Structure 1
């Protein structure tokens, strides 16, 4: 039942996402547990496809790094809801798509409702910064950042924004009284 709910929420979002953009090709879609093995397989598969399509090395590196950061965020944060009465832990959804001009990475995972405002505040802050300020924030977090209970200091999201050069887009869908489904969409311009 929980997997079906996550599936339905993610597919509803993907359908809306797809309709808003012109010609879009889905390169990869996945729902389930995110492990190191899955991350390795996805990055290899996408890199192979991008090489076959003649994409630049710089674009491949950007997409590679954003895939890794996005999947690590799913892996870390999907585990954070173990102590709720709901059984959503470890679940994540992931999509890579390409339009004529850009790549898109859409990553989603359940989070505890108490994390929602902190995530919104962090992403809104990241989105308000220019390239130089993002670099400064990254250095500051590396040096002095307060680690969350999951071991991060927002570095993954900062790094995604730095690599993409675009604002991060996010949404939340309620799964239960205690759990929200967090969806992060990253746009990566083709070079």
Structure 2
């Protein structure tokens, strides 16, 4: 039972306010968003900050659901979603299995987004909207662009090999809690 204490201690040390690991469904996604929203309201967080955090959370959760819908036969259909709160920022982290054949394209999209400034992100967003037929599943990288725009920060990411066919994709976005830091 010591692992419960260890987990609790780590959550306090890392300022984690929400951790969910498992299968993600629309109902679970709604619950995660609702719990975080209530938590932020109880802490008296500013509306503009809540909107940014909520937007980033929605994009992360949609990304998890998108990849969960893709059958990955040799990987568990399990993902993780974490929200942490520090003095100056919220840290939204997600992780999910992804097929290795998608890593190069995903890395290229994320590197392109991270290489742009505020104006470049705005232009890329408009370009994707104009030139891409978006399906319900997305896939054009619009969500990542939106996360970078709303957070005003680079998107941190990593791929950890799991099997010959899959890796675990981790994504972290930071949203400043400082007033007047509109992205």
Counterpart in 1 of 2:151? Answer: 164
Counterpart in 2 of 1:154? Answer: 141
Aligned match for 1:88, one of 36, 52, 76:
76
Q: Deviations over 1:135-172 (max 9, x none)?
A: 11111101112658943210111111111000000011
Counterparts in 2 of 1:32 and 1:135: CA distance versus 1, 3 Å = same
- Number of residue pairs aligned between Structure 1 and Structure 2: 169
Query: How far 1:59 moved relative to its partner?
Result: 0.3
Aligned match for 1:48, one of 25, 34, 38:
38
Counterpart in 2 of 1:181? Answer: 168
Counterpart in 1 of 2:112? Answer: 125
So what's the TM-score if we normalise by structure 1? 0.82
Any gaps of 5 or more consecutive residues in structure 2?
1-6, 179-183
Distance (Å, rounded) in 2 between the aligned partners of 1:78 and 1:182: 12
RMSD, aligned α-carbons? 2.0
So what's the TM-score if we normalise by structure 2? 0.85
CA contact (8 A) 2:157 2:169 kept: yes
Query: How far 1:39 moved relative to its partner?
Result: 1.6
Any gaps of 5 or more consecutive residues in structure 1?
1-10
Query: How far 1:177 moved relative to its partner?
Result: 0.5
SS of corresponding position for 1:166: coil
